[in-house]
Amino acid sequence: MKICAVISPHGFGHASRAVAVLEALYQKLPNLQIDIFTSVPEWFFRDSFKEENFRYFYFETDIGVVQQNPLQEDLPGTIERLKSFIPFGEEKVKYLVKLFKQNDYQLVLCDISPLGISAAKQAEIPAVLIENFTWDWIYAGYLNLEPRFLPFIEPLRDIFLQADYHIQTEPVCEYMQADLITSPVSRQPRTPREQMRELLKIGLFQSVVLITMGGIPQAVEQLQPLRRFPDVVFVIPGASESYERRGNLILLPHHHSYYHPDLVHTSDVVVGKLGYSTIAEAYHAGVPYIYIPRDHFRETQPLASFVERELGGVRIEQDAFFSNKWLDVLPQMLSKPRKSGRRANGAQQIAEFISERLGLWLFHPTN
């Protein structure tokens, strides 16, 4: 049985969610063969999958929003990229359709690439859209700043509506008619908390704060104020060219050897930008979240509301983050207990939904 996943390269959140779903599907369908189409680096998937049961195809599947840095968008740059991407080039779609047919996929999973849906429809293969927002909704939120988004909104909305099945994952930005709404989707941790702390050379009862920008390299210029808390270990991925241990600071390169869900689960507080995968991982770990908003990104408000409600989240402005004023609220956040109890992972819910319908598609393809 073969399926393909067509994944947006906007950050690592879409790739992380897709990996969680594909891993859960593989547990239910051990003979499953998976092909991945995206421009997310191949190493992300090599690091994420437990099994080598997938093939990787480098392919520009989506534009998303071009970023100047982890917290600021490049709207003019996004418009220029969209101009060269939408409408889809006929040759590009034909090439993808040809690959889909040659590989005899039974299903095309799209998070949240509209190109994958268009190619699946032309190849007459069922397409499943997985999202907590779609690009037409995101771009509509920028119209007051950049009206040149307008011509792209309706065509994208029409494509997303063509998906055979529509799955939304909490925290959902805009509820629509969907075939399934799930709990947050997260990759599962692999290493027990005690073992992870031993690997990081952190005491079992030390407080750990993870500072993350969701897979985007970050410049952390003012590290000295973090030494106000000598008993707290700060783990900062993407802040160094190589692994560095500086007293109570652990600086990691952008591509490091530690599995991100393990870092979240071993932490007592997460600090960072609002990003889907880190929110989902923190939700399942029960870890409090100090979040940095992206004021113009339309996803911010729904995600922030979820983080405050479900994770005891506290908002800090960007200037407060970069000036380290957020450290004033750190003792309060460290005093919060982790939320205990297992929570349903949306990855398993989606895998159950898809595996049930795969049988219908295979034996009754007209349904």
- Label residue 367 by pLDDT band (50, 70, 90): very low
Q: Where are the domains of the chain?
A: 2-187+346-363, 193-334
> CATH code for 2-187+346-363?
3.40.50.2000
pLDDT score, position 341? 62
pLDDT score, position 338? 82
pLDDT for 340 beyond 90:
no
Percent of the chain as helix, strand, coil, to the nearest 5 = 40, 20, 40
112 prior amide bond cis, ω within 30: yes
Please state, in angstroms and rounded to a whole number, the distance separating the CA atoms of residues 281 and 65.
Answer: 23
pLDDT score, position 218? 54
Report the alpha-carbon angle 235-236-239, nearest 5: 150
pLDDT score, position 359? 64
pLDDT for 292 beyond 80:
yes
Which residues, other chains included, contact 116 with Cβ-Cβ below 8 Å and sequence gap of 6+? Answer: 6, 37, 61, 96, 108, 109, 110, 127
Class of domain 193-334: alpha beta
35-59 per-position pLDDT tens digit? 999 999 999 999 998 777 899 999 9
Torsions phi, psi for 217 (to 5 deg): -55, 140
Please state, in angstroms and rounded to a whole number, the distance separating the CA atoms of residues 77 and 82.
Answer: 9
Structure tokens at 290: 């100090």
pLDDT for 126 beyond 50:
yes
* Continuous H helices in the chain: 13-28, 42-48, 75-83, 90-102, 114-123, 135-140, 150-160, 193-200, 260-266, 276-285, 300-311, 318-322, 330-334, 346-363
Tell me, yes or no, if the two domains 2-187+346-363 and 193-334 fold the same way: yes
221: DSSP letter: -
**Which of 4-18, 213-227, 229-243, 303-317 has the least mean pLDDT?**
213-227
* Lookup result for tokens 């007592």: 268
Determine the average pLDDT of the residues in 90-110: 95
pLDDT score, position 363? 44
296-311 per-position pLDDT tens digit? 889 999 999 999 999 9
pLDDT for 266 beyond 50:
yes
Per-chain mean pLDDT for the chain: 91
163-202 per-position pLDDT tens digit? 999 999 999 999 999 999 999 999 999 999 999 999 999 9
Structure tokens at 221: 């210029």
Which residues, other chains included, contact 137 with Cβ-Cβ below 8 Å and sequence gap of 6+? Answer: 173, 174, 298
Structure tokens at 92: 């590009």
Number of neighbours of residue 129 by Cβ within 10 angstroms: 27
Q: Report which listed range, 27-31, 109-113, 257-261, is most confident.
A: 109-113
